[in-house]
A and B are shown apart, each in its own frame.
Chain A
Amino acid sequence: DAGVIQSPRHEVTEMGQEVTLRCKPISGHDYLFWYRQTMMRGLELLIYFNNNVPIDDSGMPEDRFSAKMPNASFSTLKIQPSEPRDSAVYFCASTRRGPTGGYTFGSGTRLTVV
């Protein structure tokens, strides 16, 4: 298995532009999570899906952020309009419910908004 795949690895955009981050979970994993990592706030859970359905989006910072999971193998996190304070590394992770419990993280997308 190729693991959790995220794209792009790096994104630099101007303030006000729309940004779309992409994630492909591990096949067979029915949970998908989006995290944001910054030095100040650490790893913050933004939203998670179970069987493609959003379960908890309480961590989404504001209406500028939205996430979708149209099918079991693809999810997007969109920021519109982007702001400099959105600069961070965004990780996607997936897991399968069961005794194992841990997540597998993707390589992350480093977003810089200038």
Chain B
Amino acid sequence: GENVEQHPSTLSVQEGDSAVIKCTYSDSASNYFPWYKQELGKRPQLIIDIRSNVGEKKDQRIAVTLNKTAKHFSLHITETQPEDSAVYFCAARKDDKIIFGKGTRLHILP
């Protein structure tokens, strides 16, 4: 089955700087890669996603890149703000199942 590895597990960045979270997946048949943000005590919420026929997607300060050959994808957050502090999960979907990475706890330092 699919296995998703996510790094780092914890990331601290200065407010205004950029943050990058990286993930790898094992099953080359996976074709959809969502990213979820989970604030403390709340549900995971979809923030951006990318399909396997696209290499990059951007939405304001958030961008995702996908390298199908290497089977890795990344989340980039620019101009970080305090409200970006949360746990971020990458995921890979094959057929109907979405398998999640272990999460990255992002701290935005004042």
Contact = CB atoms under 8 A, between A and B. Distances in A.
B73 interface: no
In the A-B complex, the 9 residue pairs with the smallest Cβ-Cβ separation, listed nearest first, are A105-B43, A43-B100, A42-B102, A102-B46, A101-B32, A102-B34, A105-B44, A107-B43, A102-B49
A97 B46 CA distance: 16
Q: Is the interface of B mostly helix, strand, loop or mixed?
A: strand
Interface residues of A, number: 20
A42 B44 contact: no
B99 A42 contact: no
Q: Is the interface of A mostly helix, strand, loop or mixed?
A: strand
A30 to B, nearest CB: 10
Contacts of A45: 97-100
Contacts of B103: 42-43
A106 B99 CA distance: 17
